[in-house]
Amino acid sequence: MYLSKMMKVPRVESKLRVFCFKIQFRTQVSEFKRSLNTVNSTSNEAKKLASQYQKEADKCNSGMETCEEVREKAEEALSAQMKLTAMWEIRARQKGWREKVAKSNAFPYFI
């Protein structure tokens, strides 16, 4: 009843609409701020997780690079050793060496 009487007063209707809009706007702003805080905290957490994953990936990659470097060095050393062995075998054959199975009394069970 009070509202119906207020509506008859000039410009009160528009003032009430503005007042209602202000209340709704404040409510929407506060909801928006809460939502924004939630998004910001979730975003920060996601950044932290991504940073942790990146650190672990970097560790893994550096480990793989180190492993790859060691493998390459081992292959180079093996290749050099095989060349040296082949050279000594050629020299030994030139000097009369023949491949024989040597019998030893030290380990009779294995021969």
**For residue 47, which amino acid is it?**
K
Which of 59-63, 80-84, 103-107 has the lowest average pLDDT?
103-107
Torsion from C-alpha of 67, 71, 77, 83, nearest 10 degrees: 180
Contact 75, 83 (CB under 8 A): no
The yes-or-no verdict on residue 100 having pLDDT over 90 is no
Q: Of 87 and 58, which is predicted with more confidence?
A: 87
Contact 81, 89 (CB under 8 A): no
d(CA 27, CA 29): 5
pTM of the predicted structure, to 2 decimals: 0.43
Q: Of 17 and 100, which is predicted with more confidence?
A: 17
- Give the model's pLDDT for residue 83: 92
The yes-or-no verdict on residue 110 having pLDDT over 50 is no
Average pLDDT, the chain: 81
